């Protein structure tokens, strides 16, 4: 494509960064997706965006599918294209959106991985060995107690925690949304234990609740690494990552309360359809109980 057409892509990315304040990871995804679109258009001999038709957008999605891209990735690329074309309409380069009405193949819904209640108890009923493990246990308890995302856990400041009121204020969750969440007694005890040894560190970030050996705020990658270390110490098999504790929190809360709206609020989901995936997990548990308990659930052996 001609340079002016490519330059408009960068203008669009600048708008996303400044006006919509998207995260660096999201911006990188937009940049990769638009780069794929530009490459495809160049292969088709297109020089400017008004030359692009709906038929060619379908061809682009089909080509990416042939290259092995999964349904979710195709949906993301198509969404990026729609947003870019909407911007081109806004600045009067396109009369309409050539991606309108085009759908990517639907992705099969995968159920999130989670731990059952006994596995959670096994994970958390551990005597910490030293200050770092006291910190780690406080993190795992808080993830499971309040259903936090790992990024939310990393961003918690001391002032966000009210231990006497048994609440945590998630100041800036996903989509820049804040919410006030309860904290369970086990998590409160673990946080008290961590705060009693936190003073042993040369604190660089005085606001951060969770810091590393050098006193700096823990990153999400460091938290993931510590949880993997925790798994190995216990000799647990299989994968274990912070979001599994959030999934477990959601499933266990829904199973006990049957209140989908309340769980949606606790998780900070904008759309209740996102929360509904946990109803499938709940049904799987009920179906398993049924198979084991109902006298006529299984065929008799001949």
For tokens 């009369």, the residue is: 95
Contact 141, 190 (CB under 8 A): yes
Is residue 278 annotated as part of the catalytic site, yes or no? Answer: yes
φ, ψ of residue 203 to 5 degrees: the values are: -70, 120
Distance CA 39, CA 35 (A): 6
Active-site pick, 64, 198, 246, 247: 246
Active-site pick, 135, 198, 217, 269: 269
Contact 153, 261 (CB under 8 A): no
Is residue 174 annotated as part of the catalytic site, yes or no? Answer: yes
**Concatenated DSSP letters for 42-97?**
HHTT--SGGG--HHHHHHHHHHHHHTT--HHHHHHHHHHHHHHHHHHHHTTS-SS-
Closest CA relative to residue 29, chosen from 40, 42, 16, 41: 16
Active-site pick, 174, 186, 231, 236: 174
Segment holding 169, helix H or strand E: strand 167-170
Active-site pick, 30, 64, 87, 149: 149
Active-site positions read 149, 174, 243, 246, 269, 278
């Amino acid at each position: 494509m001609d340079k002016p057409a490519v330059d408009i892509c960068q203008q669009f990315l600048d708008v996303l960064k400044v006006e919509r304040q998207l995260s660096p990871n999201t911006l990188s995804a937009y940049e990769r997706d638009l780069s794929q679109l530009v490459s495809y258009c160049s292969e088709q001999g297109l020089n400017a965006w008004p030359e692009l038709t709906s038929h060619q957008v379908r061809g682009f999605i089909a080509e990416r599918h042939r290259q092995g891209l999964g349904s979710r990735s195709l949906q993301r690329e198509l969404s990026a294209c729609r947003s870019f074309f909407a911007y081109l309409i806004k600045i009067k380069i396109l009369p309409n959106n050539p991606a309108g009405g085009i759908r990517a193949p639907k992705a099969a819904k995968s159920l999130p991985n989670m731990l059952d209640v006994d596995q959670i108890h096994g994970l958390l009923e551990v005597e910490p060995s030293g200050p770092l493990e006291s910190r780690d246990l406080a993190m795992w308890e808080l993830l499971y107690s309040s259903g936090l995302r790992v990024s939310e856990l990393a961003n918690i400041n001391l002032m966000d925690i009210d231990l006497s009121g048994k609440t945590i204020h998630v100041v800036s969750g996903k989509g820049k949304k804040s919410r006030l969440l309860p904290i369970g007694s086990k998590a409160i005890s673990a946080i008290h234990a961590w705060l009693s040894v936190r003073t042993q560190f040369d604190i660089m970030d005085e606001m951060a609740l969770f810091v590393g050996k050098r006193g700096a705020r823990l990153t999400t990658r460091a938290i993931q690494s510590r949880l993997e270390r925790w798994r190995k110490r216990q000799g647990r098999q299989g994968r274990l990552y912070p979001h599994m504790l959030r999934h477990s929190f959601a499933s266990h809360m829904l199973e006990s309360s049957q209140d989908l709206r309340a769980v949606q609020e606790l998780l900070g989901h904008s759309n209740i359809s996102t929360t509904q995936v946990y109803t499938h997990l709940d049904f799987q548990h009920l179906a398993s109980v049924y198979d084991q308990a109902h006298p006529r659930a299984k065929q008799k052996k001949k």
